[in-house]
Amino acid sequence: MNLRQVEAFRAVMLTGQMTTAAELMSITQPAVSRLIRDFEHATRLRLFERRGNQITPTQEAVTLWSEVNRAFVGLKRIAAVADEITRQAAGTLRIAAMPALGNGVLPRFLARFLRDKPNLHASLSGLPSSMVMEAVGAGQADIGYADGPLDRPGFVIETRSMAAVVAIPEGHPLCARDVICPQDLQGQRMISLEPGTIFAMRVEVALAGIARLSPLETRLSHTALSLVSEKAGISIIDPTSASEFTERGVVIRPFSIFIDAGFLVIRPASQSHSGIVERFAREFQAFHDELLCPASVQQRATAAV
Domain end position, chosen among 64, 86, 108: 86
Q: Looking at the 3D structure of the chain, how many domains does it have? A: 3
- Whole-number pLDDT of residue 296: 44
Query: Could you give the CA distance from residue 280 to residue 43 in angstroms, rounded to a whole number?
Result: 49
Render the burial of 216-236: b for 16+ CB within 10 Å, e for the rest: bebebbbbbbbbbeeeebbbb
pLDDT tens-digit series, residues 157-170: 999 989 999 999 99
Domain end position, chosen among 28, 63, 86: 86
Same domain, 50 and 179: no
Same domain, 182 and 118: no
Residue whose C-alpha is closest to residue 11's, from 30, 34, 36: 36
Q: Are 166 and 193 in contact (CB under 8 A)?
A: no
Q: Are 105 and 222 in contact (CB under 8 A)?
A: no
pLDDT tens-digit series, residues 84-134: 555 544 578 899 998 889 888 999 999 999 988 887 888 999 888 888 988
Q: What are the DSSP calls for the chain, one per residue?
A: --HHHHHHHHHHHHHSSHHHHHHHHTS-HHHHHHHHHHHHHHHT---EEEETTEEEE-HHHHHHHHHHHHHHHHHHHHHHHHHHHHTT-EEEEEEEE-HHHHTTHHHHHHHHHTTT-TEEEEEEEE--HHHHHHHHHTTS-SEEEE-S----TTEEEEEE--B-EEEEETT-GGGG-SSB-GGGGTTPEEEEEPTTSHHHHHHHHHTTT---EEEEEES-HHHHHHHHHTTS-BEEE-HHHHHTTTTTTEEEEEBSS--B--EEEEEETTSPPPHHHHHHHHHHHHHHHHHHSHHHHHHHHHHH-
CATH code for the domain of 134: 3.40.190.10
Same domain, 109 and 135: yes
Same domain, 180 and 199: yes
Domain end position, chosen among 86, 119, 135: 86
pLDDT tens-digit series, residues 28-82: 999 999 999 998 898 888 888 887 777 888 888 888 887 887 777 666 665 555 5
Same domain, 50 and 113: no
- Whole-number pLDDT of residue 187: 94
pLDDT band of 297, cuts 50, 70, 90: very low
Full-prediction pTM beyond 0.75? no
What range defines the domain where residue 73 resides? 3-86
Q: Mean pLDDT of all residues in the chain?
A: 84
Query: Could you give the CA distance from residue 277 to residue 258 in angstroms, rounded to a whole number?
Result: 31
How far is CA 236 from each of CA 168, 240, 259, rounded to the nearest angstrom? 9, 12, 9
- Span 158-186, mean pLDDT? 94
CATH code for the domain of 79: 1.10.10.10
Same domain, 280 and 247: no
pLDDT tens-digit series, residues 236-284: 999 989 988 988 999 999 999 999 998 999 998 876 666 888 889 999 9
Residue whose C-alpha is closest to residue 250's, from 219, 275, 280, 222: 222
